[in-house]
Amino acid sequence: MYADELNKIVMKTTTQALILILAILIYPPQAISQDLIARAQILLEKGKYERAIRISRQAVQEAEQVYGSNSRKAIDAKWYLGRVLHKSQMYAQAHEKMTEAMDKFLALPETSDSLKAAWLMEYGIVKIEIHHHLAAKTWLLKAATFAATSGQQKIHADILTQLARNSRLSGKSVEASSYMESALAGYSEILPADHSGWFMPLCESAAIFEDQGESLRAQKEIRKALEIADQQPMAPLSMADFLVQMGEVMFQKKQYNQAEPILFRAQELLDEHLGPHHDRSVALLKQRAEMASFQRHWCMAAERYRDLLGNGQYGRNNPIATAAAHANLGVALIHMHDYTDAERAWLKSLKHYQLVLAEDHEYILHVYRELLELYRLTGNRDKEIFILARLDRLEGMARR
């Protein structure tokens, strides 16, 4: 009996081993790893970041198991994982993986200067994202040297653009202008005037002009960039990234009228290619709702906050965010003299705050004060008296 069982186990194990050997012969690990990266790239282009990250991690594990962690294939796989994390805006994790890959990449005996330029540029960009501006400049300058020695004019101009961006974000406006002028001169030598490669440098040039208070020149660069985007095919999510970056510069400068058409275009791209319920689409809608409130465009603000609250992704498992959106909707509706819906919005805000906050929390007291003003405005004496009593008790609790 035991012999029979043992024979079955041996047969089963042998069969599994044969299947594995055949699989490796027919479809070697190198192909498996490359296939995983190809699948991750497709998912990345579709905005399915979590799945792309998971598959990229699997590609790293397989490459390390088969070839060793110091092999070129494992280094490439880890670098690609860093790139996916970067694209997913997980900058700290991207920096960690790219640092691990970069240390081993630089130790490889044979790598071309053009490849070093590309890798060092990407690494410098990640350094910018985590605000390591001095280190970013060091890596980008190294990348520029490799690009120049290898005759990679386009990469060299791209690196200069990133150096300009790094300087702008570091508050070095004059240095940023110098790098940007050199970059634009480099692009002029190799790109036709309507080439899609102009889009990113024009956006950065506009951001630098905005920082220097030259809004008219910034608007001119933005118009050129948008015209190129209309005429030339571009990766839609990359274009959306640049538009959001440009819109945020305008937003921070309180140039709301200029920011809105740029962010609207980005919203269209994100909604179309990622879907309106994607985190990035929702985050941009929230920003545009806030911008409408800052501009005192109350009808537009109310419409956007309603869209935000109607989006199943927003505020999921976050009552504070949902409560704040209802409160902001209430403000817009009061200015529109829609007092009935404003009351509903404030009461919903109160309900969500009460799920997670103490009764005497400042946010809850704020909602009660807004309701008090609303009832005074509408002459609802009974509700005014009720809220006054409630506020008196809660403010007394808060003082203790």
Terminal CA-to-CA distance of the chain, rounded, Å?
79
Q: Which class for 200: exposed (0-12), middle (13-18), buried (19 or more C-beta within 10 A)?
A: buried
Distance CA 394, CA 206 (A): 50
- Strand extents, DSSP E, 1-160: none
CA distance 261 to 307: 18
Q: Does residue 271 carry a pLDDT above 50?
A: yes
pLDDT above 80 for 17: no
Dihedral of CA atoms 390, 391, 396, 400 in degrees, nearest 10, equals 100
Q: How confident is the model at residue 261 (pLDDT cuts 50, 70, 90)?
A: confident
Average pLDDT of 123-137? 94
- Cα 128–134–140 angle (5° rounding)? 65
Residue 14 in tokens: 């042998």
Lowest mean pLDDT among 176-190, 286-300, 304-318: 304-318
Using only C-alpha atoms, the chain has a radius of gyration, in whole angstroms, of: 28
Question: Which comes out higher in pLDDT, residue 28 or 87?
Answer: 87
Give the predicted TM-score (pTM) of the model. 0.68
**Residue 398 pLDDT grade (very low, low, confident, very high; cuts 50, 70, 90):** low
Query: pLDDT-derived band of residue 3, with 50, 70 and 90 as boundaries?
Result: very low
Each residue of 55-68: pLDDT tens digit? 999 999 998 988 89
Which residue in 149, 148, 168 sits closest to 159, CA to CA? 148
Neighbours of 42 (CB within 10 A): 13
Alpha-carbon gap, residue 236 to 266, rounded angstroms: 9
Band of residue 124 on the pLDDT scale cut at 50, 70, 90:
very high
The whole-number pLDDT of residue 48 equals 81
Tokens 């403000």 sit on residue: 331
Average pLDDT (304-313) is: 88
Helices and strands, counts by H and E, the chain: 19, 0
The answer to whether the CB of 284 falls within 8 A of the CB of 278 is no
Q: Which residue has the higher pLDDT, 360 or 161?
A: 161
Residue 164 has pLDDT above 80, yes or no: yes
pLDDT confidence tier of residue 26, bands split at 50, 70 and 90: very low
- Is the predicted pLDDT of residue 399 greater than 70, yes or no? no
